[in-house]
Amino acid sequence: MTPLDYVSGATIIPNKAFGISPSNVNTFITKPHTWYREQVLGEKQFDKSTATILGTIVHYCAEQYIKTKAVPKSHIFDYIHEVLDPNIQTKFPSNVDETTAIAELRSKISASKNPHIDVAYILDQWKPMGQAVIDYLKTNKPNRSEELICAEVMPGFYASGSADAVMGDTLIDFKTTSDLTPKAYIPMNYKYQLLTYAWIYTKIGVPINRIRIVWITNNQVGRISETTGKPMKDYPTTATAVTEEINSADLEFIESILKLISETVQASRDYPQLTHCLFKDYRLKQ
């Protein structure tokens, strides 16, 4: 385990309570059968990918800069090594030389236990992307970072998770993206997530009036066209903020969805013979 490993919001809710993850609210809306299988039956474990690992590292850089203004690189290298081989618990010293550590990690790529993950790409990308989020934070300093928070939706049901950051009354979420030009809006799947965190914060006495995504783009430089063999336009890493104001109607809207999730799960418990109807998948019919 490293400080970058995932910690579930379920760890802070009462024993036997059902936890609603903000990041999965959109799945309940768009793919209820998938949501049920993953969140109720536990059929899917979190699968790491090149994108999620980069996202985790960038979030760690943000958290450490906000809290300490320093980023322990050895923890990042430990995390990447864990991706290469989860069975070997190698720990890099805190004063590790960056060049040496990266060379060691690159030498182990060919024997990686997770060959579907592009570790070479991660090693190329993590530093410029991490630096981009740090540069953004130099002039936009949150007062809260990576807090595990929860609030009761109804008896036995809680919305819970780890919120990236809060600055005043603005909830901030850092999103890494492979888009060459970041989106100028907050997509609905992310809006459900941010509204849920805003709702939780409001319930625990921290008013939120704005939600913000800070898009961190990949460092797309030095590319060569496979068609022409010529250099392509460079798109260096950027950190771009998109902010939307929210109001009581938005919080009432997301609360209604959280109650719908809770009551749907409860109905499935009370009437298991209707589970396939509730979650729209005949394969769930008992």
pLDDT in tens, 232-269: 999 999 999 999 999 999 999 999 999 999 999 999 99
Residue 54 near residue 122 (C-beta atoms within 8 A): yes
Q: What is the mean pLDDT of residues 147-176?
A: 97
Which pLDDT does position 90 carry in this prediction? 74
pTM of the model: 0.94
22-28 mean pLDDT: 97
pLDDT given at position 10: 87
- Whether residue 74 is predicted with pLDDT greater than 70 in this model: the reply is yes
> Is a pLDDT exceeding 90 seen at residue 1?
no
- What is the 3 state secondary structure string of the chain? CCCCCCCCHHHHCCCCCEEECHHHHHHHHHCHHHHHHHHHCCCCCCCCCHHHHHHHHHHHHHHHHHHHCCCCHHHHHHHHHHHHCCCCCCCCCCCCCHHHHHHHHHHCHHHCCCCCCCHHHHHHHHHHHHHHHHHHHCCCCCCEEEEEEEEEEECCEEEEEEEEEEECCEEEEEEEECCCCCCCCCCHHHHHHHHHHHHHHHHCCCCCCEEEEEEEECCECCCECCCCCCECCCECCCEEEEEEECCHHHHHHHHHHHHHHHHHHHHHHHCHHHHHHHCCCHHHCC
What is the share, in percent, of the chain residues with pLDDT greater than 90? 91
pLDDT at 45: 64
For the chain, the residue count is 286
Which has more confidence, 154 or 6?
A: 154
pLDDT for position 46: 64
Rounded to an integer, the average pLDDT of 159-176 is 97
Cβ neighbours around 266 below 10 Å, total:
15
Q: What is the pLDDT of residues 54-71, one digit of tens each?
A: 999 999 999 999 999 999
Residue 283 pLDDT greater than 70, yes or no: yes
Q: What percent of the chain has pLDDT over 70?
A: 99
